[in-house]
Structure 1
Amino acid sequence: MPELRHSIAQHYHERTKYDPETIASKNKGLDWSKQPVPFKEYKIGSAYDLKPYIQEKPEAFVDNTDAQWWQRLSRLLFCSYGLTAKMPSMGSAVYLRSAPSAGGLYPAEMYIVSRGTPLLPPGLYNYQCRTHSLMHYWESDVWQKLQEACFWHPTLQNSQLAIVITSVFYRSAWRYEDRAYRRIFLDTGHLLGNIELAGAVTNYRPHLIGGFVDEAVNELLYIDSRQEGAIAVLPLADLLDMKQLPTGRTALPSATETNYPQIPDGELLTYFHLRTQIQAGTTGKLNLPPVKQEKSLEDKYNFPFCEKIPTATKPIDWGNKLEGLEVTILKRRSTRAYSGEDLTFEELTGLLDFTYQPQNYIDQGFDHATDYFDLSLIQTFIAVSGVTGLEAGCYYYAPKVQELRQIRFKNFRKELHFLCLGQELGRDAAAVVFHTADLKSSVAQYGDRVYRYLHMDAGHLGQRLNLAAIRLGLGVSGIGGFFDDQVNEVLGIPGDEAVLYITTLGRQR
């Protein structure tokens, strides 16, 4: 009989931690002959070319309503996941996209499910990044199957289009092995952030669904669930045709598994993913808690005797009709090196304001309530090394009252270099943001599937930080590889908080 352990989510997290004493033995090197291709191809299907609609300005289609519809959809997809640069690499080329991805591996795939519109017949479409086109590979009405798989989610009742995000696991696992599961969902979070913001630019409102019958969605898309799996479903409200759709639950719980066998290295990712799935026929067995209301006006941590610094500030200006947002999405790049120069306190508070205070941006055209799975589970800590007017140290960010609460008094540049696996980005950044979550408590609420939700929400927050930094002319780069336990010990982050993601901020070299 296998011994009783923590949940499989907690077990996975412990197994995939990086540790200074063992990381060298796990670095086996990459087999470049097996490097995956980050694009999906279809030999059969009908292609809908979207390039003309991003090559022309909106004014070109002022008298053509059909072309206006296509242009909006074209811009939505291009700003979400389109190819924005071509970089030479080892005798070939790496194509960069509007959403960042660890190692440039891009495990996510985007599909469009059409209920049937005057311009987009019912069926299944894959977004082809290389050609900026939609491949219509299945021509039939599958909308009811999607509704059934999503437990008749109310946002699917009146919408006509839905985006489905999947992951091709090997694309990321080739490099990051079992720990790739973390990065896959961080990358998906980046993409979700882009879809949300691109929707604001193009008058679409994506509604996030994370609770669905996995195998039913996989079968609907005709994908091989051993290689690829559905991650998120996003019905699109066309704000030019309808008002906001009725809201529904973004996250549903899965089972919690505590009795599992010994799982060899290399098989942990696949095993864990299967255990986070929701099975058909379980709606009556999920014992769903009521949708959580705001429990308290207080933030989670209020450390005694810590200094508290207000962060309320003037919102970032995104330009007339969000023109600055679209430009920022398309020119975003991950910073490769920082100069070590300071940020201003106003720059740091501007980054926090856009990321955590969406209510301050409604009058600019942003949505009033961004969809996350459960943002109350995510905590934010910031290691400050160089911010003018702010003492070096580690701070807890309290978003509800908008203040920084200092918990450690030290410049951690040297330690951050070590914690980020020797990456100079950690050492030279002016501030380093850590997103964390109490994994045990989170599993108690949502089962093992919460591991997906936590990392997607952390990636979504990270993408908002990315874009705010680029808008302010700053450098920014996410880090998914770090010494997990040592981060808590060095910075004073409570031990119950599992570190999910790191975002470095500074001035580019």
Structure 2
Amino acid sequence: MSDLTASIAQHYHERTKYNPETINAKQPPLDWSQQPLPFKEYKIGTSIDLKPYLNDDATAFSNDPAKLWWQRLARLLLCSYGLTGRIPTPGNPHYLRASPSAGGLYPAELYLISRGTPLLPAGLYNYQAYTHSLMHFWESDVWTKLQTACYWHPVLENTQLALVTTAVFQRSAWRYQDRAYRRICLDTGHLLGNIELACTLNDYRPHLIGGFMDEAMQQLLYLDAEQEGAIAILPLADLLEVKQNLSLARTALAATTQRYYPPIPEGQLLSYLHQATQLPLDTTVKVNWKPATSQVQRTDKYNFPFCLKVSTQTPPINWGNQLEHLETTILRRRSTRAYSGAALTFEELIALLDFTYQPQHYIDQGLDGSPDYFDLSLVETFIVVSSVTGLEEGCYYYAPKTHELRQIRFKNFRQELHFLCLQQDLGRDAGAVLFHTADLKVAIAAYGDRVYRYLHTDAGHLGQRLNLAATQLGLGVSGIAGFFDDQVNEVLGIPSDEAVLYITTLGAVQK
């Protein structure tokens, strides 16, 4: 039976840690002939082509309200998860998307649910990134079922459209085995980061929902529960409609904490965790959707005695008078493959932090000053500085509330980072490496085992804001989800209670 001191989320986390002594045994050779397709196909349905609405002239449809509506939706989907590049391979080309994905595997699927509008009939749609089209695969009114599955979330009372992100588990598990669930949730976070900003560009406001009845969503979308599961739901408030300028609501609900479970064989942990973290199918549950206190307020957790403290106050990144640089940045973003080893400037580093953690500084530019996350009060940030002009080398805790870096270790960690990042040169050659962490015990006490989804999704969302800020500043950036978990804390001096969720490397691009 299980270790009674560990919940299933903690058990999963421990079992999927990389360890220097066992990592080679856990990495079987890849069978490329078995790689799942990254695109979902439907044999029946009606396709709606969105490409005609991608006119470079933003005013092209200004005199045609119907086409303008379609243009907004087409650009939102393109900037969220559309194809942005093509890499020739001996077989089929490999396509890149607006949202980054571990190993380029793209486990997420994106669905659109319509309540029924004059331009988009009620029903279920799948976003077909390969053709930039919508596949209308179910024609009926399903909005009441969506409301039921979401415990009658108040935002759904006044909206007409909702996006749903799901995960096709095997796309990522084919390569990363059981640890793939971490990457799936991080990739979902990347996608949510894009959706947040793409909505702003197209006059929508996404309202994040992570608390929903999983089985009800599987039934609504006709998903095979063994193959695919919903991760997040985002009703889209149309900001051009006065009635849809809606109040914020709670995004995350607590699930049970499971401490009794049978021995779980290798290869079945991912599926078991996803099933164990579901919310039950119970239409009698009443939910208070008012925002949780932790979502409204966050504190800086660590204040180390006698540590060096450095202010991170800085002017915001300029995204243009009409945010014209934001869309181009989303579409040209790429994960960096190699850094030059040259230094970042201190001004660049704190500008990255400002865009990622201080959205309220960007209200004047038209961005959302309080975008939805599940619970950022649970996620902490540590930064290892290897080469930043004007900042001493070492490991720092970032305190977003007081806008400062607090140094906890004095050392150049380049070689240690190379080791911790599984011998990836990105860790060694980056100017700075950022670590997102969380205290799993505290998080599970607040939300049950389902919090494992929330934590990694929020970390991925933050990571995507870092990606875009770095791209706008002409810097290199790449996320790393494979690392020696326990050794990170030991080597860098990060408190042992903090489980590492995600790593983002930042540096000068190799020419």
Q: What's the TM-score bracket when you normalise by the shorter of the two chains?
A: over 0.9
Higher mean C-alpha displacement, 57-66 vs 154-163: 57-66
- State the one-letter code of the partner of 1:250: T
Task: Indicate the larger mover: 242-251 or 284-293.
Answer: 284-293
Task: Please give the residue correspondences for 1:225-236 in structure 2 after superposition, counting only pairs within 5 Å.
Answer: 225-236=225-236
Partner of 2:326: 325
Give the equivalent residue in structure 1 for 2:410. 409
Which residue in 1 is equivalent to 2:86?
86
Do the aligned residues in 2 keep the contact of 1:383 with 1:395 (CA within 8 Å)?
yes
Post-superposition shift, 1:210?
0.1
The whole-number CA distance in structure 2 between the counterparts of 1:439 and 1:433 is 19
Q: Which residue of 2 aligns with 1:106?
A: 106
In the alignment, what sits opposite 1:281?
282
- Report % sequence identity: 70
- Matches of residues 41-60 of structure 1 in structure 2 within 5 Å? 41-60=41-60
Kept in 2: contact 1:154–1:246 (CA 8 A): no
Q: Which amino acid aligns with 2:149?
A: A
Aligned to 1:4: 4
Partner of 2:222: 222
Letter of the 1:260 counterpart: Y
Take 2:188 and 2:182, find their aligned partners in 1: how far apart are those partners? 10
After TM superposition, give the deviation of residue 10 of structure 1 in Å.
0.3
1:40-64 superposed Cα distances (whole Å, 9 cap, x missing partner): 0111111111001113422211210
Quick one: distance in 2 between partners of 1:414 and 1:152?
Answer: 52
Residues in 2 aligned to 1:247 and 1:353: alpha-carbon distance in whole angstroms: 23
Matches within 5 A, 1:305-344: 305-344=306-345
Does the residue aligned with 1:321 lie in a helix, a strand or coil? coil
Q: Cα offset for 1:459? A: 0.1
Give, in whole Å, the separation in 1 of the partners of 2:299 and 2:116.
46
Distance, in Å, in 2 between the alignment partners of 1:429 and 1:291 is 37
The Cα of 1:450 is off from its aligned counterpart by 0.1
Change (3 A) 1:497 1:286: farther
Q: What do the CA deviations read for 1:362-404 (whole angstroms, capped 9, x no partner)?
A: 0100012110000000000000000000000000000000000
Q: Which residue of 2 aligns with 1:70?
A: 70
Letter in 1 for 2:185: F
Q: Who is 2:385 aligned against? A: 384
Aligned in 2, Cα 1:283/1:388: closer, same or farther, shift over 3 Å?
farther
How far, CA to CA, are the matches of 2:156 and 2:298 in structure 1?
Answer: 32
Counterpart check, 1:176 vs 2:172:
no
Give yes or no for contact 2:3–2:259 (8 Å, CA) kept in 1.
Answer: no
Q: 1:384–1:430: 8 Å Cα contact kept in structure 2?
A: yes
Q: CA separation of 1:34/1:298 partners in 2, compared to 1, >3 Å: closer, same or farther?
A: closer
Structure 1 residues 301 and 61, CA gap change in structure 2 (3 angstroms): same
Structure 1 residues 375 and 46: alpha-carbon distance in aligned structure 2, compared to 1, 3 A threshold: same
Kindly tell me: are residues 246 and 286 of structure 1, through their superposed partners in 2, closer, same or farther at Cα, counting changes over 3 Å?
Answer: closer
1:118-197 aligned at under 5 Å gives the runs 118-197=118-197
Contact 1:254 1:286 in 2 (8 A): no
Are the structure 2 counterparts of residues 396 and 60 from structure 1 closer, same or farther at C-alpha, using a change threshold of 3 Å?
A: same
8 Å CA contact 2:386–2:430 kept in 1: the answer is yes
1:5 Cα shift?
Answer: 4.0
Cα offset for 1:90? Answer: 3.7
Aligned AA (2:261): Y
Match in the other structure for 1:33: 33
* Secondary structure of 1:60's aligned partner: coil
- Structure 2, unmatched stretches of 5+, are none
CA gap 1:112/1:317 in 2 versus in 1, 3 angstroms = same
How far did 1:290 drift?
A: 7.7
What is residue 258 of structure 1 aligned with on the other side? 259
Instruction: Measure, in 2, the Cα distance between the counterparts of 1:80 and 1:233.
Output: 14
How far did residue 174 of structure 1 move?
A: 0.1
Q: Which residue of 1 aligns with 2:433?
A: 432
8 Å CA contact retained: 1:54, 1:74 = yes
Higher mean C-alpha displacement, 240-249 vs 82-91: 240-249
Quote the Cα distance in structure 2 between the aligned partners of 1:257 and 1:286. 21
For residue 498 of structure 2, what is the amino acid of its counterpart?
Answer: E
Pairwise CA RMSD: 1.5
| 1:134-154 alpha-carbon deviations (Å, 9 max, x no partner) | 000000000000000000001
Q: Output the CA distance in 1 between the equivalents of 2:198 and 2:92.
A: 30
Partner of 2:204: 204
- What is the rounded CA distance, in whole Å, between the counterparts of 2:291 and 2:216 in structure 1? 25
**Contact 1:5-1:259 within 8 A present in 2 as well:** no
Matched letter for residue 143 of structure 1: W
Q: Which amino acid aligns with 1:464?
A: R
Asked if 2 retains the 8 angstrom alpha-carbon contact of 1:154 and 1:247, the reply is: no
The answer (yes or no) to whether the contact 2:206–2:235 under 8 Å persists in 1 is yes
1:147-202, Cα deviation, whole Å (9 max, x unpaired)? 00000001100000000000000000000000000000000000000000001111
Q: Secondary structure at the match of 1:449?
A: helix
- Of 479-488 and 83-92, the range deviating more from structure 2: 83-92
In structure 2, relative to structure 1, the CA distance for the partners of 1:289 and 1:119 (3 Å cut) is closer
2:359 alignment counterpart: 358
The 3-state SS of whatever aligns with 2:323 is helix
Alignment-derived partner of residue 490 in structure 1:
491
- In the TM superposition, what is the alpha-carbon distance from 1:289 to its structure 2 partner? 10
CA contact (8 A) 1:86 1:93 kept: yes
Residue of structure 1 in register with 2:239 after alignment: 239
- Which deviations, in whole Å up to 9, do the C-alpha atoms of 1:47-88 show, x marking residues without a partner? 111001113422211210100000000000000000000002
Once the two structures are superposed, residues 334-375 of structure 1 have per-residue CA deviations (whole angstroms, 9 ceiling, x without a partner) of 000000000000000000000000000001000121100000
Return the TM-score normalized by structure 1. 0.98
CA distance in 2, matches of 1:290, 1:250: 8
Q: Give the letter aligned to residue 14 of structure 1.
A: E
CA contact (8 A) 2:311 2:403 kept: yes
Task: Provide the C-alpha distance between the structure 2 equivalents of 1:496 and 1:286, rounded to a whole number of angstroms.
Answer: 31
TM-aligned CA deviation for residue 241 of structure 1:
1.2
SS at match of 1:216: helix
Letter in 2 for 1:204: Y
SS of equivalent residue, structure 1 residue 96: strand
Cα separation, partners in 2 of 1:93 and 1:364, compared to 1, 3 Å? same
The 5-angstrom pairing of residues 416-427 of structure 1 reads 416-427=417-428
The total of aligned residue pairs comes to 509
Q: Provide the secondary structure at the position in 1 that maps to 2:293.
A: coil
Larger CA deviation: 294-303 vs 484-493: 294-303
Give the whole-Å Cα distance in 1 for the aligned partners of 2:58 and 2:285.
Answer: 48
Q: Is the 8 A contact 1:252 1:288 kept in 2?
A: no
Match of 1:78, SS state, is: helix
